[in-house]
């Protein structure tokens, strides 16, 4: 599955460089149960200061809540890379849908987050 997001370059500051980030995930391994009765998770990717989030389809977990599976996910997004500040972090999140009284409602709950400093890549 390939997910792609673009960004409008016209409204940028002089300390901002438009860049494209491509991330390919090939494996997901959950070593301990995250929540009770958790059956499916979603992988989401976004820049730390951005509202735009790319999400995968739901990944089904086993009864024990553990998983070790091969993935074929490609995320590609354009983002503003700031030269003079530290807001260039890529967030890779493991999420689930929000629930209220065992019903799915709008929104997602983040279970785990990993940060990649794009200034170091």
**Residue 10: what pLDDT?**
58
Q: Where are the domains of the chain?
A: 2-117
Nearest Cα residue to 97 out of 47, 40, 36, 25: 40
Q: Which CATH number fits domain 2-117: 2.60.120, 2.60.40, 1.10.3470, 3.40.50?
A: 2.60.40
And the tokens for 5? 């997001």
- Yes or no: say if 31 and 67 are a contact pair by the CB < 8 Å rule: no
Least confident interval from 2-6, 10-14, 71-75, 95-99: 10-14
Determine the length of the chain: 121
Task: Give the pLDDT band of residue 55 (cuts 50, 70, 90).
Answer: very high
Strand 67-82 and strand 2-5: the pairing is parallel
Which residue is it, tokens 């300390």? Answer: 15
pLDDT digits (tens, 9 = 90+) for 75-121: 998 888 888 777 789 999 999 998 888 787 899 999 999 999 888 87
The neighbour count for residue 69, using CB atoms within 10 Å, is: 12
43 CB-near residues (< 8 Å, 6+ apart): 25, 28, 55, 56, 59, 71, 73, 92, 93, 94, 95
């Amino acid at each position: 599955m390939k997910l792609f997001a673009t960004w409008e370059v016209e409204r940028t500051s002089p300390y901002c460089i438009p860049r494209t980030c491509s991330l390919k995930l090939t494996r997901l391994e959950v070593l301990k149960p995250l929540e009770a009765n958790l059956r499916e998770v979603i992988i989401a990717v976004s820049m730390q200061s951005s509202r735009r989030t790319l999400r995968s389809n739901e990944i089904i977990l086993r009864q024990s809540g553990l998983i070790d599976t091969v993935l074929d996910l490609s995320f590609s997004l354009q983002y503003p890379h700031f030269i003079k500040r530290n807001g260039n972090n890529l967030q890779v999140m493991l999420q689930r849908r929000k629930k209220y009284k065992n019903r799915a409602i709008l929104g997602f709950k983040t279970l785990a987050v990993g940060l990649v400093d794009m200034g170091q890549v």
